Chain A
């Protein structure tokens, strides 16, 4: 019999709108989690797809000097992972008696696994996508080589023992990379042609790269199998998130933002559930007392209300799943339209997560109100003010706190992040609560000076001080999270925008001879091209730290490994500067003082090779060795498109050494055709086009911006729901008060104003508190989580209180409006 009663209660209450807020809160939690996780999963897959183009694959295994065992590739096939080979090495290329160093890139069928190649008919022209590779006897050549060797389409190029016909200008290759010091132009041939060149001999310095692509789960499985077998010295496994590229920084930040914002969204939805559940229980106090009076036993009533709650949860979750799916499809359709390609589809994980969140939210947050509800004594039917005894509020806070914490852990998958956020949240809540009380008390004395509507409003605020400070707390939290997400979104977007402004350098010029530095600077000035200064470069090696030799892969001597210190294992590009380069910041020590030799070390490198200011480094440049002290440790912003260096020397040290120069400059895309003319007088200099990379990065950042905006909209919804739930919750008490005031003859216009003023003050105070809290939280997040420069948001100090006042007043007034419209008699009847 009891299931019928549960079902009946649910059916009627749903129809009468009494459970709307509760159902909406649970549904929103499910919707938010579902759409967010599906969307972010799919977007991330899309992002990875796009960014994988930078590798031309999902993962790359780089092996130096030797090929990998073939069964590693067989294994990839078994795991459904596609692979391709790429073998690169430097060699001389000859034509018409001219020669130059080129980067020979030979690739197997299937390359590139991600992204595509583009070819053009003339150097520095826009290219067209091509889905094939050079045929036997063909070579595709980068534009700068045309310049260096005076090539034409159809020219014959000798590489090693083989001759190739130049058939295309290679205008875009996805894996051209960020390393501007890979300064030789690329020539692309098929891997089957490699043997014909006769250039691969034992001991040749050849890089064997293996490109892999496939479903994330397949890749994951393969990775798990493969990684333990790598020697980590000559074999290195890379994915796009590794490394110092601007892209990986953007991706990692975006990921952290999405995680954080969705966590906040879930916490907000959970708060709405908690508020609604409390009201749900309060509204059922009478029903339980009546049932108990009419002979209902506690176990029976427990079953009725538990089932009622479960049914409600079920209905809400289904509703949330439907809504979430619709939303998610809509958004993904829209985003795909915006991006011009379909996002890949994800797995079932988000659905499980969404249902689990809905269940956890609804059941855990209803637990305490339900326990209280079931403890209502039947005597309430005669003594209406009786509520449940013997259930401490601490139990409520304990259950709510642990549920939110559990949600955080499940959602973020990180215990550390959850503990930090949770602890921060608790401290913030206590502070906010204290501030709320203080403000309410202060507002009372201010209100006493004002007219009758204001007096009534302030008296109302004061009378419900305890309830109001809780209410204000949740208003503040909702507004704060909204402001927080908004501020962070703007900061992130601005930050990316600043790093890659429209006029960010899109070309690097390298190999500039010393005598050409002045003419080139003149050319830049004459052609009004924005360029960085020309930095000298001297190739050299770090050989010892404080007298101890460093490990170097090139060193062939058989020596005990433990005698060596960690070094670079490769040649470094050394430079010298009289002044600290732009976008660099000294962390320790001082910049060079004139006449004193020294070296400035980039901070991450200093950490890796474990050196500090005062340590002595020994370098070998050409045949010379010299030792210098570290004068300072320097932080470099690798996200800027300008030449950056690990080691910068004081000017006197390297000045006599054979140097070439490097600079980066911005040339508007429409002036691209002028490149040939501009650099005709500098035949030895090489140009590196990074416009493609910039475009790709901007494209990826476009994705991320969309995602972030979507998350923000959801957080706004969740916040609004909290506000509505909170206002609704205070309705019953207000009803009683309005009846009394109406009965005493207060005009409805006076009451209406009083209600509005009360909510205006509540909202404005909540907005102000929220702004303060937001400022602190953004500071903490910027400095601790996002590695950004902290900023102050003066506009929000106006926005917070006014948004709070307007929204809270509008909500409060619209909910109370209906009360004011009722006849006093009808209201009295409802009270009973």
Chain B
């Protein structure tokens, strides 16, 4: 049974020159536990697709169904709750809250969801990503690689069913990028999460089960990686 179903999804935005179609008539599905890469040139609509899959935005037409729930039927609040329960995020620019320490950043989603013992969980995860020594550091006291490891720990704390990663290594040098990548796939296997990675990086895409290629808002290729 597919965990994510995308049915005839289009997204238009209004510009000064009239309506601009960013995504047109996309349809595909992603199974539970599958690891999928979304690739394409800049402006091909990758980030917009990610925002629709995560319920950060709604499609102009068509629908996104996650775990049998049609996102179009939920309001902003209900989508937030759904994200809190089922979805984790990793961003290119890490997006840690600057005024919270590494530990507090990781605890945050668990606290927002009201789960017990967020601190214990967060410490374990930070140990897994190798940052036990950095618990009380603020984001700007950490290197880029360390910040992204904090973000990975934060993404896994709710044991989400789905993890969306937007160019997770895009801001890192290749060596650090590789280490972060390895960590991401390792944890993904351990928690058996469905992973959707938006990336430019072909090498990263090749590590996934399947590659969805976008071009000018259209799904032009679906490739299963051997």
> Knowing A8-B104, A295-B112 touch, does A381 contact B95 (C-beta < 8 A)?
yes
| Surface stretch bound by A, among B25-33, B78-86, B120-128, B182-190 | B78-86
Interface membership of A829, Cβ < 8 A:
yes
Contact check: which of B93, B98, B108, B138 meets A294 at CB < 8 Å? B108
Contacting pair A293 B101 (CB below 8 A): no
- For the complex, what is the distance from the CA of A377 to the CA of B76, rounded to whole Å? 9
- Near B by CB (< 8 A), chain A positions 482-533 give none
**A-facing mask of B110-135, CB < 8 A → 1, else 0?**
01111000100000000000000000
Report chain B residues within 8 Å CB of A382: 47, 50-51, 56, 91, 166
Contacting pair B97 A381 (CB below 8 A): no
Interface membership of A737, Cβ < 8 A:
no
Closest approach, in angstroms, between the C-beta of A440 and any C-beta of chain B? 27
Closest approach, in angstroms, between the C-beta of B77 and any C-beta of chain A? 5
Closest approach, in angstroms, between the C-beta of A283 and any C-beta of chain B? 8
Interface membership of A338, Cβ < 8 A:
no
Closest approach, in angstroms, between the C-beta of A328 and any C-beta of chain B? 34
- For the complex, what is the distance from the CA of A287 to the CA of B81, rounded to whole Å? 17
- For the complex, what is the distance from the CA of A379 to the CA of B140, rounded to whole Å? 23
Closest approach, in angstroms, between the C-beta of B149 and any C-beta of chain A? 15
Report chain A residues within 8 Å CB of B104: 8
Report chain B residues within 8 Å CB of A383: 47, 51
Report chain B residues within 8 Å CB of A298: 76-77, 80
Using a Cβ–Cβ cut-off of 8 Å, how many residues does chain A contribute to the interface with B? Answer: 33
**A-facing mask of B19-56, CB < 8 A → 1, else 0?**
00000000000000000000000000001001100101
**A-facing mask of B84-104, CB < 8 A → 1, else 0?**
110101010111111111001
Using a Cβ–Cβ cut-off of 8 Å, how many residues does chain B contribute to the interface with A? Answer: 41
Contacting pair A12 B108 (CB below 8 A): no
- For the complex, what is the distance from the CA of A404 to the CA of B99, rounded to whole Å? 32
Contact check: which of A9, A286, A295 meets B85 at CB < 8 Å? A295
Closest approach, in angstroms, between the C-beta of A802 and any C-beta of chain B? 38
Contacting pair A379 B57 (CB below 8 A): yes
From B93, B94, B171, name the one whose CB has the most chain A CB atoms within 10 angstroms. Answer: B93
Contacting pair B94 A296 (CB below 8 A): no
Contacting pair B111 A1 (CB below 8 A): yes
Closest approach, in angstroms, between the C-beta of A795 and any C-beta of chain B? 47
Contacting pair B97 A286 (CB below 8 A): yes
From A294, A381, A830, name the one whose CB has the most chain B CB atoms within 10 angstroms. Answer: A294
Interface membership of B62, Cβ < 8 A:
no
Beta-carbon nearest neighbor of A294 in chain B = B109
Report chain B residues within 8 Å CB of A830: 140
Contacting pair B140 A294 (CB below 8 A): no
From B96, B99, B109, name the one whose CB has the most chain A CB atoms within 10 angstroms. Answer: B99
Interface membership of A4, Cβ < 8 A:
yes
Report chain B residues within 8 Å CB of A292: 80
> Knowing A16-B138, A294-B108, A298-B80 touch, does A381 contact B100 (C-beta < 8 A)?
no
- For the complex, what is the distance from the CA of A299 to the CA of B114, rounded to whole Å? 14
Closest approach, in angstroms, between the C-beta of A156 and any C-beta of chain B? 90
Contacting pair B99 A16 (CB below 8 A): yes
Contacting pair B77 A829 (CB below 8 A): no
Contacting pair A832 B76 (CB below 8 A): no
Closest approach, in angstroms, between the C-beta of A233 and any C-beta of chain B? 73
Closest approach, in angstroms, between the C-beta of B150 and any C-beta of chain A? 12
Closest approach, in angstroms, between the C-beta of B135 and any C-beta of chain A? 14
From A8, A293, A297, A830, name the one whose CB has the most chain B CB atoms within 10 angstroms. Answer: A293
Contacting pair A832 B77 (CB below 8 A): no
Contacting pair A378 B93 (CB below 8 A): no
Beta-carbon nearest neighbor of B55 in chain A = A378
Interface membership of B158, Cβ < 8 A:
yes
Report chain A residues within 8 Å CB of B138: 12, 16
- For the complex, what is the distance from the CA of A291 to the CA of B98, rounded to whole Å? 13
- For the complex, what is the distance from the CA of A286 to the CA of B93, rounded to whole Å? 12
From A4, A5, A290, name the one whose CB has the most chain B CB atoms within 10 angstroms. Answer: A290
Closest approach, in angstroms, between the C-beta of A3 and any C-beta of chain B? 11
From B50, B82, B93, B112, name the one whose CB has the most chain A CB atoms within 10 angstroms. Answer: B112
- For the complex, what is the distance from the CA of A384 to the CA of B51, rounded to whole Å? 13
Report chain A residues within 8 Å CB of B95: 286, 290, 293, 381
Beta-carbon nearest neighbor of B112 in chain A = A296
- For the complex, what is the distance from the CA of A787 to the CA of B197, rounded to whole Å? 76
Contacting pair A13 B56 (CB below 8 A): no
Interface membership of B144, Cβ < 8 A:
yes
Closest approach, in angstroms, between the C-beta of B51 and any C-beta of chain A? 5
Beta-carbon nearest neighbor of B101 in chain A = A12
- For the complex, what is the distance from the CA of A8 to the CA of B93, rounded to whole Å? 23
Contacting pair A832 B89 (CB below 8 A): no
Closest approach, in angstroms, between the C-beta of B57 and any C-beta of chain A? 5
- For the complex, what is the distance from the CA of A13 to the CA of B97, rounded to whole Å? 11
- For the complex, what is the distance from the CA of A384 to the CA of B50, rounded to whole Å? 15
Beta-carbon nearest neighbor of A16 in chain B = B99
Contacting pair A295 B80 (CB below 8 A): yes
Report chain A residues within 8 Å CB of B47: 382-383
> Knowing A829-B140, A830-B140 touch, does A293 contact B97 (C-beta < 8 A)?
no
Contact check: which of B76, B93, B94, B111 meets A5 at CB < 8 Å? B111
Report chain A residues within 8 Å CB of B54: 293
- Near B by CB (< 8 A), chain A positions 277-336 give 286-287, 290-300
From A4, A290, A382, name the one whose CB has the most chain B CB atoms within 10 angstroms. Answer: A382
- For the complex, what is the distance from the CA of A660 to the CA of B209, rounded to whole Å? 120
- For the complex, what is the distance from the CA of A723 to the CA of B100, rounded to whole Å? 29
Contact check: which of B80, B87, B89, B140 meets A297 at CB < 8 Å? B80
- For the complex, what is the distance from the CA of A382 to the CA of B49, rounded to whole Å? 11
Interface membership of A18, Cβ < 8 A:
yes
Contact check: which of B82, B97, B111, B140 meets A290 at CB < 8 Å? B97
Report chain B residues within 8 Å CB of A1: 111-112, 114, 118
Report chain A residues within 8 Å CB of B108: 5, 290-291, 294
Beta-carbon nearest neighbor of B79 in chain A = A378
Closest approach, in angstroms, between the C-beta of A513 and any C-beta of chain B? 89
- For the complex, what is the distance from the CA of A382 to the CA of B50, rounded to whole Å? 9
Beta-carbon nearest neighbor of B78 in chain A = A297
- For the complex, what is the distance from the CA of A830 to the CA of B142, rounded to whole Å? 11
Contacting pair B80 A378 (CB below 8 A): yes
Closest approach, in angstroms, between the C-beta of A24 and any C-beta of chain B? 18
**B-facing mask of A336-378, CB < 8 A → 1, else 0?**
0000000000000000000000000000000000000000011
Contacting pair A294 B83 (CB below 8 A): yes
Contacting pair B57 A295 (CB below 8 A): no
- For the complex, what is the distance from the CA of A226 to the CA of B112, rounded to whole Å? 65
**B-facing mask of A589-631, CB < 8 A → 1, else 0?**
0000000000000000000000000000000000000000000
Contacting pair A829 B99 (CB below 8 A): no
Contacting pair B93 A832 (CB below 8 A): yes
From B47, B108, B166, name the one whose CB has the most chain A CB atoms within 10 angstroms. Answer: B108
> Knowing A1-B114, A293-B89, A298-B77 touch, does A9 contact B100 (C-beta < 8 A)?
yes
Report chain B residues within 8 Å CB of A291: 97, 108, 112
- For the complex, what is the distance from the CA of A5 to the CA of B105, rounded to whole Å? 10
Report chain B residues within 8 Å CB of A829: 140, 144
**3 A-B pairs closest in CB distance:** A295-B84, A832-B93, A294-B109
Given contact pairs A293-B89, A297-B112, A381-B95, a sample of 20 additional A-B residue pairs in the complex whose CB atoms are under 8 Å apart: A2-B111, A4-B111, A5-B112, A9-B97, A12-B100, A12-B101, A286-B98, A293-B95, A294-B83, A294-B109, A295-B112, A295-B113, A296-B80, A378-B80, A382-B50, A382-B166, A383-B51, A829-B140, A832-B93, A832-B94
14 residue pairs from A and B, CB less than 8 Å apart? A1-B118, A8-B104, A12-B100, A13-B99, A286-B95, A287-B97, A290-B95, A292-B80, A293-B56, A293-B95, A294-B109, A297-B77, A382-B91, A830-B140
Chain A residues packing against B (C-beta within 8 Å): 1-2, 4-5, 8-9, 12-13, 16, 18, 286-287, 290-300, 377-379, 381-384, 829-830, 832
